[in-house]
């Protein structure tokens, strides 16, 4: 596995590859990330994973400084998983970067609480696309809204890239894997599986009750456990518009803060 540490080096080294699958990450890798590399491996192409903790996507009082940085361990995991290259640029990559605006989907769900987050995401992902020039890019479906917004970025900016969504990987107790799980206190870690439980409760009852009642009752259930979601929604998986009744495809999505740690999760009914 070769490590590439600058934009110039990336352009030079990757120049002759026209079959690249990009797996963008911010490091602090866990089995969820490795599943993205495994998804990339299914294509039998050249895998370039990237590690960059992107300051542009963190809000003013968010956790950029405390975001875990575990480079050595990340590199070992990527090598073992079969990544061919790792692109790990310094913050120089942000110099003269083309600032991009995320599509209007960025104003919904997480965008209401993190207004500039998705602009930061599309700015760095656009840059990675330009530098690495992949044919495919793999993103986790835990960040479902991010997945849709990057899909829009590809279409609106005429990138010739096929985006691949990779299923959520969960801990044994159902908690969706996330680098932020390590930051939970002991007590909040014990509470965290309630997130997936409530999504499943909604899924199991979705054809029985109106969506309004499902949201109301599930929010009350969470509140009895001391949990108040930032949002809990049943919406159209393409437009993220709220749905009133179950009519087939639906996304059940939640964001919730446990202490200082913000977690998101979803179930897609397809």
Helix (H, G, I), strand (E, B), or coil: what is residue 233? strand
DSSP state of 88: -
Nearer to ligand PAF, 70 or 219 (CB): 70
Nearer to ligand PAF, 64 or 231 (CB): 64
Residue 94, token pair as written in the block: 């942000």
* Nearest distance in Å: CB 139, ligand PAF: 6
Query: Out of 143, 159, 206, 262, which residue is the one contacting ligand PAF (CB under 6 A)?
Result: 143
> Is residue 24 part of the contact set for ligand PAF (CB under 6 A)?
yes
> Is residue 168 part of the contact set for ligand PAF (CB under 6 A)?
no
Residue 224, token pair as written in the block: 């009895």
Give the integer Cα–Cα distance in Å for 55 and 109: 21
Residue number, nearest CB to ligand PAF: 24
Contacts for 76 with CB less than 8 Å, ≥ 6 apart:
none
Is 117 among the catalytic positions? no
Give the integer Cα–Cα distance in Å for 226 and 224: 5
* Nearest distance in Å: CB 143, ligand PAF: 5
> Is residue 138 part of the contact set for ligand PAF (CB under 6 A)?
no
Give the integer Cα–Cα distance in Å for 76 and 93: 24
**Interface residues for ligand PAF in 41-60 (CB under 6 A)?**
54, 57
* Residue among 27, 20, 25, 64 nearest 43 (CA): 20
> Is residue 265 part of the contact set for ligand PAF (CB under 6 A)?
no
Query: Out of 22, 102, 121, 168, which residue is the one contacting ligand PAF (CB under 6 A)?
Result: 121
> Is residue 126 part of the contact set for ligand PAF (CB under 6 A)?
no
Options 69-77, 117-125, 204-212, 251-259: segment touching ligand PAF (CB under 6 A): 117-125
C-alpha angle with apex 100: 97 to 105, nearest 5 degrees?
155
* Nearest distance in Å: CB 117, ligand PAF: 9
Options 24-32, 67-75, 193-201, 230-238: segment touching ligand PAF (CB under 6 A): 24-32
* Nearest distance in Å: CB 226, ligand PAF: 28
Options 23-31, 35-43, 107-115, 209-217: segment touching ligand PAF (CB under 6 A): 23-31
DSSP state of 66: T
> Is residue 214 part of the contact set for ligand PAF (CB under 6 A)?
no
Is the separation of the CB atoms in 67 and 26 below 8 Å?
Answer: yes
Could you please report the per-residue DSSP string of 203-236?
HHHTTTS-HHHHHHHHHHHHHHTT--EEEEEEE-
Strand partners, 240: none
CB atoms within 10 A of CB 119: 17
Query: Out of 125, 149, 164, 235, which residue is the one contacting ligand PAF (CB under 6 A)?
Result: 125
The side-by-side arrangement of strands in the sheet containing 229-235 is 229-235, 250-258, 261-269
Query: Out of 25, 46, 49, 211, which residue is the one contacting ligand PAF (CB under 6 A)?
Result: 25
* Residue among 198, 166, 167, 196 nearest 181 (CA): 196
Nearer to ligand PAF, 65 or 208 (CB): 65
* Nearest distance in Å: CB 121, ligand PAF: 5
């Amino acid at each position: 596995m070769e490590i590439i540490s600058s934009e110039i080096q990336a352009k030079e080294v990757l120049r002759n590859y026209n079959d690249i699958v990009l797996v963008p990450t911010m490091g602090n890798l866990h089995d969820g990330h490795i599943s993205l590399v495994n998804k990339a491996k299914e294509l039998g192409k050249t895998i370039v994973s990237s590690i960059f903790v992107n300051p542009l996507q963190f809000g003013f009082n968010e956790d950029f400084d405390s975001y875990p940085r575990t480079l050595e361990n990340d590199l070992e995991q990527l090598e073992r998983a079969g990544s061919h290259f790792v692109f790990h640029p310094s913050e120089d990559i942000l110099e003269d970067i083309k600032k991009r605006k995320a599509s209007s989907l960025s104003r919904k769900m997480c965008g209401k609480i993190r207004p500039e987050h998705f602009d930061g995401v599309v700015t760095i992902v656009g840059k990675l696309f330009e530098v690495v020039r992949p044919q495919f890019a793999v993103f986790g479906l835990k960040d479902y809204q991010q997945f849709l917004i990057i899909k829009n970025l590809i279409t609106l900016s005429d990138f010739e890239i096929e985006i691949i969504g990779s299923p959520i990987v969960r801990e044994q107790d159902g908690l969706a894997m996330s680098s932020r799980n390590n930051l939970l206190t002991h007590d909040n870690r014990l509470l965290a599986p309630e997130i997936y439980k409530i999504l499943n409760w909604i899924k199991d009852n979705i054809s029985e009750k109106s969506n309004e009642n499902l949201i109301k009752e599930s929010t009350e259930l969470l509140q009895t456990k001391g949990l108040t979601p930032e949002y809990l929604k049943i919406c159209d998986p393409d437009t993220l518009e709220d749905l009133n009744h179950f009519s087939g495809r639906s996304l059940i999505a939640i964001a919730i803060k446990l202490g200082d740690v913000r977690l998101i999760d979803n179930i897609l009914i397809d």
